[in-house]
Amino acid sequence: MAMAAAAAVASQGLVAAPHQGKSSARKSSLSCIGSLSGKSVLWVRGGGVGVGGGVKAGGVRCEAQAIEREVVKAVKKEDAFSGLQQVCAVLGTQWGDEGKGKLVDILAQRFDVVARCQGGANAGHTIYNDEGQKFALHLVPSGILNEKTTCVVGNGVVIHLPGFFKEIENLEAKGVNCTGRLLVSDRAHLLFDLHKEVDGLREAELAGQMIGTTKRGIGPCYASKAIRNGIRVGDLLHLDTFREKLDILYRDAAARFKGFEYSAAIVDAEMEQYVKYAERLGPYIVDTVDYVNNAYAEGKRILIEGGQATMLDIDFGTYPFVTSSNPSVGGICTGLGMAPNRLGDIVGVAKAYTTRVGSGPYPTELFGDEGEELRKAGFEWGTTTGRPRRCGWLDIVALNFACTINGFTAINLTKLDVLSGLGEVKLGIAYKTPAGDKLRSFPSDLSVLEQVEVEYETLEGWKEDITNVRSYDELPAAAQRYVERIEELTGLPCSYIGVGPGRDALIVKQ
């Protein structure tokens, strides 16, 4: 960013001068002092630059923050994404499937490291390359299409190795090189086929009260981690004790579920497979906590990709109809070993409407023809499971709850094009109890949530096809009013607006 900013400074007739004092390796400190040949002089500390516009001659000093804001404005004329800080996170705000992968794919071209911090193969991110070729990713970070980016699977992720290797094979078959570009944490937990089997048995037990999991074994694997009999990636480096740990996992499952088959022969067969996996995974295994923090210290730009979304967070979501990890901002720190004071921009991704897969309360859900129309228009079937997604209007109450928890700096509003052609569009702006009382926040009590009456605000729809629009000013007036009303209700800018699935189908709102 320093080079780009320096160019911006020069283009405005300013002189950038090196500061002679001590420099900081992590943060730039800027000051504007005096003039030189009739031009404002910008002193630079720590490699950063700023614009001294509007500074009087004669040594008037400027606040660094004000200067940096001017730098960002100048640089944004060259690249709308240049103002993003060294560490940027992209997190889901709803019940998943918001389109996080697309933004990560686009931003990855401007970052050195892209990291996944939690979840497993239950996360499905669909992205497209410049040729329109489709890629469905589950464990591999969405930055993999950028050949200059290193992708990290952090310690908070649970990894099913057969699926992981299959994903790599599919990528390489399409010409995407993963060698040396994909790192896996030695602290990440291994997800075995037995976890998948247990997942199915657990759902069968629940009968009519099923959670609606993807049956990918995510919950049982996190359960193994929590009760401390889980097996980590680093254990593959110690095969002499691996079988004993595997046997404990099998015995535990057999003791819990009558339908679970256990024998020494089954464990031996699984062990045989993992001896092969250990050799194959060896080159990928790294202490990613050390890697990510060293990358930060070296000034590398780090992009963090969340799986699932806040309303599925095991602490903050619609429990128990949630995932088994923390897809909210706290999962970044625990899932990568990165300190919270290093986080910069946190972008919350929200569909222009809402969807949900699986069971659980969903206040703004549409039924019948309305819901089906939205599903067809948005191609709302799960990337991971293929299940039809439940569809409804944008829930501002839930969105504001997610904004509060995560401290988003901006919103990426996706799939605005799906709403084209509707006579009117609605926003769920408040929850009321059956007695007519407004709720202050998103309730934790599902019995309350299931009974709320949603207060809607109706806005005019737009008929125009917006899939080829690339400038905010070119959007229909009604579409602009919809976006701006969301900004008013959330207090956050909708900085990125998706109008189609392709990489270029993105409006950057200045």
List residues with catalytic annotation.
Answer: 97, 125, 225
Rounded distance between C-alpha atoms, residue 125 and residue 336, angstroms: 20
What letter represents residue 505's amino acid? A
Residue 123 is labelled as binding a ligand: yes
Rounded distance between C-alpha atoms, residue 373 and residue 417, angstroms: 14
Residue 499 is labelled as binding a ligand: yes
Residue 498 is labelled as binding a ligand: yes
Residue 458 is labelled as binding a ligand: no
Rounded distance between C-alpha atoms, residue 109 and residue 149, angstroms: 7
Tokens of 94: 């709803």
Helices (H), 356-442: 368-378, 396-406
Rounded distance between C-alpha atoms, residue 328 and residue 93, angstroms: 8
Residue 385 is labelled as binding a ligand: yes
In our burial notation (b when 16+ CB lie closer than 10 A, e otherwise), range 440-463 reads eebbeeeeebebbebeeeeeebbe
Residue 384 is labelled as binding a ligand: yes
In terms of Cβ atoms closer than 10 Å to its own Cβ (0-12, 13-18, 19+), residue 83 is middle
Residue 376 is labelled as binding a ligand: no
Rounded distance between C-alpha atoms, residue 319 and residue 315, angstroms: 7
Residue 412 is labelled as binding a ligand: no
What letter represents residue 114's amino acid? V
Rounded distance between C-alpha atoms, residue 401 and residue 405, angstroms: 6
Residue 129 is labelled as binding a ligand: no
Length of the chain counted residue by residue:
510
Residue 308 is labelled as binding a ligand: yes
Residue 389 is labelled as binding a ligand: yes
Tokens of 203: 């759902």
Residue 102 is labelled as binding a ligand: yes
Pick the closest to residue 96 from 310, 304, 376, 303 (CA basis): 310
Residue 500 is labelled as binding a ligand: yes
Residue 388 is labelled as binding a ligand: yes
Instruction: Specify the pairing of strand 390-392 against strand 354-356.
Output: antiparallel
Residue 42 is labelled as binding a ligand: no
Rounded distance between C-alpha atoms, residue 163 and residue 121, angstroms: 8
Residue 214 is labelled as binding a ligand: yes
Q: Which residue has the tokens 């679970």?
A: 260
Residue 98 is labelled as binding a ligand: yes
Give binding residues for IMP as ranges: 97-100, 122-125, 214, 228, 308, 323, 387
Give binding residues for GTP as ranges: 96-102, 124-126, 389, 415-417, 498-500
Give binding residues for Mg(2+) as ranges: 97, 124
Give binding residues for substrate as ranges: 383-389
Give binding residues as ranges: 96-102, 122-126, 214, 228, 308, 323, 383-389, 415-417, 498-500
